[in-house]
Chain A
Amino acid sequence: MTLTLMSQERTIDIFNRYLGNKDPVTNLSYIETLQHKVKNSTHAEFYIPVLGIQGTGKSSFLNALLMDDLILPVDADETTCVPVEIRYGKKDTAFIVNFDDQAPLSIKNPKDLEQYIHNTYNPGNEKKVSFIQAFKEHPLLENGVVFVDLPGVGSLTTGNVKTTLKYIQKLSAAIFMLRTVPPITRQEAAFIKSVWSKLSKAWFIQNQWNEESITEVQDGKEHNINVLEKIRDANQTSDPIDLRVINVYEALNGQLQNNDEMKEKAGMTDFVQFLQSVTNSWSIMLEDEITHLQGQAYKDITDVLLREITLYKKGPAEHYEQLRVEEEKLNNVIEENNRILRSIEDFLTEKQVEIHYKLRNEVTRGKKNLRTDMQRIVKSDVVDGDNLTRAFKECQEDVANTIVEVFIESLTDTKIELEQLSNQLIMRNPNGSFSSYEEFSKTASFKFEKALPNVLSVGGGFAAAAALTFLVSNPAGWVVSGVFIVGGLIGNFLGSATKKLTQESRQRSTLNQLEQSIDEFTKTLEHSLSKQVDDFIMSVRSSAQKVKEEQVALQEVEYDKQRKIRFVEIEEYNKQLQQLQDDLQYIQSLRSIK
């Protein structure tokens, strides 16, 4: 009901006249941002990707949760990395296979899916499948909930990180599948840490296998919680950790045999009820959020109008006094903000040097390891051909993985610290009062709000500052492209030593050829990761610079505004004031309808 009011021409016009600043990130104005959010929320699908490394039982879990048969193939290979989206729909359209470069394909028999998601039939996703849609008439899928079966996030250098992060960017919540033995590994932890701040809700499911005893499960759970708490603390939040143990295998059996008791015992029933309540309230929560946002919008525009009217009603002497007070206030804020910006600059300089140093060290170390590994292998008479290629590839992968881990860890830690610094930046509310960005972001009740910069600060005229804090909270893009590039660096090496040579000469000649490849690989590795770090730091720097410029400009704007009021012709003055009062009345009439 209220949504329509927001789209009325006069409302839009008023907003654009008084809160017309554009957000530098999205290039949307206040009202456009708001409209965008409203539109998104009404058409929103609530994505719940199921994440976890290969072998944690993601597909089995989804089969047990949503299907009444083994619909989703359970041994999908992570190297193909094709996501399967499960939406609400009638039974007869079973699957739609979507491609990068051709028309979608409809499939009835789940067996046929293997052609597209199994590595044997579709190695390295050479068929270019972008994603697969499955449909199911299931109460959990009502309200636009979409579950996604995502290929594992075990190896950081494979392309699936990109796919995974795509879903995380648009996500609403995520389910992480964990194991009991072994509990969360370092790579899993690194992944969770890097996406933690992007998740609005995260539920962790520890899959219990049948042979695992209660003690084992408890022990594993304790460790998993330890690790998750550590990640949470590093991210400086206090979100409770929701970890449940489910025996997926038993739950699946219960589902197949239609045995409620089995499902209950497996821990599935509880979780289904929980999900049901979350997804049911999801639309209500969204609506509340929109109502809240609109209320804020009306309040903001009213504040702006009232502030202007007060200005108009003041005499010249009062204007002068007001200008002086405002100037002083703004000066103080600018001074404080500049201090924060300086510490951000210092921090960036320090971090840049530190990360470069770290990467260089890791690469040097990795290079030496790669070389000694290859020495050992070649000296064991693996001197050419497929075996050597494979060994070289795997050794490169290991080196790359270690370095990528350092890269992700460094960027994530930098991000966390930068966020704390930039949260101290002082912004101006539309009503003219000031508060730190941290206070601002608290008013957003949902994390999905973070998908767009905070509209309030734009309203207050601190658009660049808002853009900076947004940028700082969001280095996922840099991480992903860095990781993606590294995946592409791992190359083949066949070796071409001729069989005519003696074994020792063959070894020597292979090692010489390898040396070049190793050198090139490690050089490019260091270069491309360092460049990602530099790009990120440079963009934060230039954003910080923009904040400085914006603040100076803001003072001018304020000054101009008041001067305009003071020196305007009386006729024009009256007209303006009348306009303001009309607009205010109109806005207030809207509020009363609401």
Chain B
Amino acid sequence: MNIQHTMDRIKPVIHQLGSEELHSVFTLLQERIDYPESFVTLLGETSSGKSSLVNGLLGQDVLHVSSKPTTGTIVELNEFDGETAITPYALLKNAKLRRLSPEAFLQETIQPSEGVLRVRLNIPKMPLGLQGMRLFDTPGYGSIHQEHEEVLKEFIPNSDVIIYVVNYRVGIGNNDAEFLQYIERFLQDNIKFFLVINRVPSDLNSSDVRIKEILNYAQDLLHSEIEHFIVSAITGDGLKMPQADDLWAAVRHEVQSESRKKHIEEVLQDYQVQLLQEAIIPWQKQLTLMKVSEEEVALLQQTIFEFKNKKIKANDLIDQTFERLNRQVPQMFEQAKENMDSFLETEILETNKWTSSQETVGLIHSHILPRRERIQREVITDFLEVELDKLNNQLEELVNEAIIDFQTKIVSISGQFNPIMKNISKLVLQKTTDGALQTFLSIYGGRGGAGAGVANLAKKGLKKAGEVVGKKFSRETHNALASFLKRIGATSTRNITIVATILIDSIFYVIEAKRWQGRLIKETKKGTNQWQQDTCAFVIANLETLKKTNNENMDNYFDDFINIINTEDFNPASKLEIGEIEHRISEIEELILQIKKDKVSI
């Protein structure tokens, strides 16, 4: 049975239930099945020629290109057969779409106005057979900071393919190196990385020394072998629409690869199962209530009350831990700054042979400062790792204990609760740890919705694990922790790079040898101070988010459990007899089994 057939069979099941919520989930899922997509992200320095590549692909001058930095916002290319021509929209922060005039489109791409998240181009038909691709063209790394936060947080981890563009003449500069190192931290095995060396003189090929140099450096930075593409420069004054057919063929191959399609299909099947499992619950609940006594219901409520207390306990634990971290982290940054300062001061005072100013400043900029930053920062990230890891373990233990206790108690009230309890654990875990299907689809929208954020369905699905309760929980939190620590590392490095760059500028004009040291020490302290403030603020803000997520997770986790079994405010969906309900349940169960069988067979 193919996936659409299954949807046809799921439809009446959802319809019978009369739940609006599940119905809308069904509709969204259907849209996803109609239009499976892969995400391709274009990255690279300002003026490396990303927008030209897009123009070349579309065969028309859609994106504004000039020698000056052009793209100030993310441009999304989206295939949509509802349009007859390429049509631009602004995607607003409130998740709405606004159609743009050609002038407004140009304006928004260069300087996005308040409230605009990114620009979307609806393309009636993707050229070169690139069906199923959503393409994101991003601003150069040299531009605004916040924009990149978004790129890194959302686009990189959600990408199926990353195309990194380097200008042949410029090579891999410091910004690129930093950016590639940054990317490396987010790269997972399932992201395909393509390096494009752009604007290569047309008589050169892979054997060119410079091309080799660029490729090798990129491979070192990313710690892996990478595929590269050479795109020739277009000479003359006319429209620059570089042809990169090899690149797009490779992208197409990737986007439409059987394994990726299969993967998406599997994810969709998982969601079908989840939807059906949710559809069983109301029936089971109704059935159970018809079978148990009033005293038993009262006992059930009592157990739920006890269970709720465990939630409070879990949240208390989270609060206490983060409260402590909020105290400790600033102290550690203070200490880190002091260590850096005293080290640098000794360093500067001991250097009396300022014979080559260029070289010494270079050493501080490229080695001493970044190294000190790394040493000090690692102390802090290691510390956070231990602490957050411990919290995860404690929470996991607490939750597992609470649930086992809860289940045992409820089942001991009456054996009638057995079937519903069995379904609950499976469902709740999927819901909370994967980000519920509803949440996912309603936030990120199907094709019709605006989709304020960017979330790749296939990537989300990847996080699915087996049925084992604890493993899944801890892997999820562990992943979150790892990426949190990586982000701190990346941000801290970036902050020190800014400091180092300012440092060079500020002492460049001080020629008098006697004043150098004092001035340099003063400037370094100013710089490390800035680093401390910015990085610490970043960590604290992220800790706050992490705490909130943890709290929310706990709330969702416990509440889902409670809501499903809670008998208060429960309105039975129908007045069916026991036998009829049982029949419905077994129908749904059969369908679930069928999907699972199909999944194995593909």
B97 close to chain A: CB less than 8 A: no
In the complex, the answer to whether A230 meets B386 with C-beta atoms within 8 Å is: yes
Q: A230-B386, A372-B177, A382-B367 are in contact. List 5 more A-B contacts (CB 8 A).
A: A219-B327, A365-B223, A380-B363, A382-B366, A395-B371
B220 close to chain A: CB less than 8 A: yes
Question: How far is B364's CA from A376's CA once the two chains are assembled, in angstroms?
Answer: 12
A-B contact pairs, 9 of them (CB 8 A): A181-B328, A216-B328, A219-B324, A226-B386, A226-B387, A371-B220, A376-B174, A379-B366, A380-B367
Question: How far is B217's CA from A287's CA once the two chains are assembled, in angstroms?
Answer: 66
Tell me the smallest distance from the CB of A200 to a CB of chain B, in Å: 26
In the complex, the answer to whether A368 meets B221 with C-beta atoms within 8 Å is: yes
Q: How many residues of B contact A (CB 8 A)?
A: 34
**Which of the residues A181, A185, A227, A376 comes within 8 Å of B366, measured between beta carbons?**
A376
A308 close to chain B: CB less than 8 A: no
Residues of B within 8 A of A (CB): 174, 177, 181, 217, 219-221, 223, 324, 327-328, 331-332, 334-336, 358-360, 362-363, 365-367, 371, 374, 378-380, 382-383, 386-387, 390
A387 close to chain B: CB less than 8 A: yes
Q: Which residues of A contact B358 (CB under 8 A)?
A: 381
Q: Which residues of A contact B221 (CB under 8 A)?
A: 368, 372
Q: Which residues of A contact B359 (CB under 8 A)?
A: 381-383, 385, 387
Question: How far is B390's CA from A194's CA once the two chains are assembled, in angstroms?
Answer: 21
In the complex, the answer to whether B223 meets A223 with C-beta atoms within 8 Å is: no
CB-nearest residue of chain B to A391: B367
Report if A215-B378 is in contact (Cβ < 8 Å); known contacts: A182-B383, A387-B360: no
Question: How far is B210's CA from A421's CA once the two chains are assembled, in angstroms?
Answer: 56
A11 close to chain B: CB less than 8 A: no
CB-nearest residue of chain B to A394: B371
A222 close to chain B: CB less than 8 A: yes
Report if A398-B328 is in contact (Cβ < 8 Å); known contacts: A368-B221, A372-B220, A382-B366: no
CB-nearest residue of chain A to B367: A391
In the complex, the answer to whether B327 meets A391 with C-beta atoms within 8 Å is: no
Question: How far is B383's CA from A198's CA once the two chains are assembled, in angstroms?
Answer: 26
Interface centre among A182, A379, A398 (most CB of B within 10 A): A182
Q: Which residues of B contact A385 (CB under 8 A)?
A: 359
A291 close to chain B: CB less than 8 A: no
CB-nearest residue of chain B to A373: B367
Tell me the smallest distance from the CB of B117 to a CB of chain A, in Å: 34
Question: How far is B371's CA from A225's CA once the two chains are assembled, in angstroms?
Answer: 29
Report if A377-B174 is in contact (Cβ < 8 Å); known contacts: A186-B382, A368-B223: no
**Which of the residues B181, B328, B367 comes within 8 Å of A377, measured between beta carbons?**
B367
Report if A216-B366 is in contact (Cβ < 8 Å); known contacts: A185-B382, A382-B359: no
Question: How far is B219's CA from A372's CA once the two chains are assembled, in angstroms?
Answer: 10
A220 close to chain B: CB less than 8 A: yes
Interface centre among A222, A381, A391, A395 (most CB of B within 10 A): A381
Question: How far is B380's CA from A383's CA once the two chains are assembled, in angstroms?
Answer: 33
Q: Which residues of A contact B334 (CB under 8 A)?
A: 181
Q: Which residues of A contact B390 (CB under 8 A)?
A: 226, 230
Report if A216-B327 is in contact (Cβ < 8 Å); known contacts: A181-B332, A182-B379, A227-B386: yes
Question: How far is B363's CA from A355's CA once the two chains are assembled, in angstroms?
Answer: 36
CB-nearest residue of chain B to A226: B390
**Which of the residues B332, B362, B378 comes within 8 Å of A186, measured between beta carbons?**
B378
Tell me the smallest distance from the CB of B594 to a CB of chain A, in Å: 41
Q: Which residues of B contact A73 (CB under 8 A)?
A: none
Q: Which residues of B contact A395 (CB under 8 A)?
A: 367, 371
Closest 6 CB pairs of A and B: A380-B362, A380-B366, A368-B220, A186-B382, A381-B362, A391-B367
In the complex, the answer to whether B328 meets A220 with C-beta atoms within 8 Å is: yes
Chain B: interface secondary structure? Answer: helix
In the complex, the answer to whether A219 meets B328 with C-beta atoms within 8 Å is: yes
A576 close to chain B: CB less than 8 A: no
Interface centre among B177, B336, B366, B380 (most CB of A within 10 A): B366
Question: How far is B332's CA from A390's CA once the two chains are assembled, in angstroms?
Answer: 28
In the complex, the answer to whether B380 meets A182 with C-beta atoms within 8 Å is: yes
Q: Which residues of A contact B387 (CB under 8 A)?
A: 223, 226
**Which of the residues B217, B335, B380, B386 comes within 8 Å of A375, measured between beta carbons?**
B217
A491 close to chain B: CB less than 8 A: no
**Which of the residues B332, B363, B374, B378 comes within 8 Å of A387, measured between beta carbons?**
B363
Tell me the smallest distance from the CB of A120 to a CB of chain B, in Å: 11
Tell me the smallest distance from the CB of A322 to a CB of chain B, in Å: 53
In the complex, the answer to whether B332 meets A182 with C-beta atoms within 8 Å is: yes
Annotate A214-240 by CB proximity to B: 1 below 8 A, 0 otherwise.
Answer: 011001101100110010000000000
Question: How far is B383's CA from A185's CA once the two chains are assembled, in angstroms?
Answer: 7
Q: Which residues of B contact A376 (CB under 8 A)?
A: 174, 177, 366-367
CB-nearest residue of chain B to A216: B331
Interface centre among A183, A385, A387, A390 (most CB of B within 10 A): A387
Question: How far is B177's CA from A219's CA once the two chains are assembled, in angstroms?
Answer: 38
Q: Which residues of A contact B365 (CB under 8 A)?
A: 380
Tell me the smallest distance from the CB of B386 to a CB of chain A, in Å: 6
Question: How far is B386's CA from A380's CA once the two chains are assembled, in angstroms?
Answer: 36
Tell me the smallest distance from the CB of B403 to a CB of chain A, in Å: 24
Report if A181-B367 is in contact (Cβ < 8 Å); known contacts: A186-B382, A382-B362, A387-B359: no
Q: Which residues of B contact A394 (CB under 8 A)?
A: 367, 371
CB-nearest residue of chain B to A381: B362
In the complex, the answer to whether A377 meets B362 with C-beta atoms within 8 Å is: yes
Q: Which residues of A contact B367 (CB under 8 A)?
A: 373, 376-377, 380, 382, 391, 394-395
Question: How far is B382's CA from A208's CA once the two chains are assembled, in angstroms?
Answer: 21
Tell me the smallest distance from the CB of B254 to a CB of chain A, in Å: 25
Q: Which residues of A contact B332 (CB under 8 A)?
A: 181-182
CB-nearest residue of chain B to A376: B366
Question: How far is B325's CA from A226's CA once the two chains are assembled, in angstroms?
Answer: 14
In the complex, the answer to whether A182 meets B335 with C-beta atoms within 8 Å is: yes
Q: Which residues of A contact B374 (CB under 8 A)?
A: 398
In the complex, the answer to whether A183 meets B217 with C-beta atoms within 8 Å is: no
Question: How far is B390's CA from A183's CA once the two chains are assembled, in angstroms?
Answer: 15
In the complex, the answer to whether A181 meets B335 with C-beta atoms within 8 Å is: yes
Question: How far is B363's CA from A222's CA once the two chains are assembled, in angstroms?
Answer: 39
In the complex, the answer to whether A183 meets B366 with C-beta atoms within 8 Å is: no
CB-nearest residue of chain A to B371: A394
Tell me the smallest distance from the CB of A214 to a CB of chain B, in Å: 12
Tell me the smallest distance from the CB of B366 to a CB of chain A, in Å: 4
Annotate A137-149 by CB proximity to B: 1 below 8 A, 0 otherwise.
Answer: 0000000000000
Interface centre among B181, B217, B223 (most CB of A within 10 A): B223
Question: How far is B387's CA from A395's CA once the two chains are assembled, in angstroms?
Answer: 29
Q: Which residues of A contact B382 (CB under 8 A)?
A: 185-186
In the complex, which residues 165-195 of chain A have their Cβ closer than 8 Å to any Cβ of chain B?
A: 181-183, 185-186
Annotate A530-547 by CB proximity to B: 1 below 8 A, 0 otherwise.
Answer: 000000000000000000
